[in-house]
């Protein structure tokens, strides 16, 4: 039985998904730090983490400590099978179940080098991709910020958890 949704969020999008999931499944959600106090080792959990440079934050802190039913990776890019496959590889999740959940960019909550990196990505996209089909939304996201959080994005994960 799943005891909790555990998550790591930098600017709030992963937290939003964790809270939605917690409400829909009627199980508590905890940050990584709260989980240490409230859960026992090897308790079953669902883990959600934000993506930073291809790495799902917190995965290494939960993979041996808890029994993870499935993982959710929250990133800014659109969902795409190739991209999800690359996340599986870069996070060594070949033997696990991973779902991709689109978050967004919140400049108001980004600080220091992280804000700087996002702005650089925005500049690179603008330089290389401007005018290309489908690039406008991504360029705007990385320059101005936006949220793509949607409870529908959790449907597939919820089906898997309930199965």
Ligand X SMILES: Cc1cc2nc3c(=O)[nH]c(=O)nc-3n(C[C@H](O)[C@H](O)[C@H](O)COP(=O)(O)O)c2cc1C
Which stretch in 21-29, 34-42, 62-70, 101-109 sits in contact with ligand X by CB under 6 A?
101-109
Alpha-carbon distance 56 to 68, whole Å?
14
Task: Return the DSSP state at 7.
Answer: E
Q: Does 10 bind ligand X (CB under 6 A)?
A: yes
| Selected binder of ligand X within 3, 4, 6, 11 (CB under 6 A) | 11
Minimum CB separation from ligand X for residue 53, in Å? 5
Tell me the per-residue interface mask from 35 to 54 with ligand X, x by CB under 6 A, - otherwise.
---------------xxxxx
Helices (H), 59-134: 59-62, 81-90, 112-129
Alpha-carbon distance 91 to 151, whole Å?
25
Closest to ligand X by CB, 25 or 56: 56
Helices (H), 39-102: 59-62, 81-90
Q: Does 56 bind ligand X (CB under 6 A)?
A: no
Closest to ligand X by CB, 11 or 91: 11
Q: Tokens in use for 18?
A: 């964790």
Minimum CB separation from ligand X for residue 115, in Å? 7
Alpha-carbon distance 83 to 88, whole Å?
9
Q: Quick check: 80 and 134 in contact, CB under 8 A? A: no
Residues 74-93 that bind ligand X (CB under 6 A): 74-77
Closest to ligand X by CB, 3 or 122: 122
């Amino acid at each position: 039985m799943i005891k909790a949704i555990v998550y790591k969020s930098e600017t709030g999008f992963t937290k939003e998904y964790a809270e939605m999931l917690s409400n829909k499944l009627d199980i508590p959600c905890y940050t990584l730090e709260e989980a240490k106090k409230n859960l026992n080792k090897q308790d079953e959990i669902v883990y959600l983490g934000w993506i930073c440079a291809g790495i799902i934050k917190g995965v290494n802190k939960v993979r041996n400590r808890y029994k993870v039913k499935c993982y959710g990776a929250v990133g800014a890019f659109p969902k795409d099978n190739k991209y999800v496959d690359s996340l599986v590889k870069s996070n060594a999740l070949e033997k696990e179940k991973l779902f991709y959940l689109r978050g967004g960019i919140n400049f108001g909550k980004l600080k220091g080098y992280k804000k700087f990196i996002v702005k650089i990505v925005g500049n690179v996209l603008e330089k290389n991709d401007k005018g290309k089909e489908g690039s406008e939304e991504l360029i705007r996201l990385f320059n101005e910020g936006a949220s793509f959080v949607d409870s529908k994005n959790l449907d597939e994960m919820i089906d898997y958890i309930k199965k």
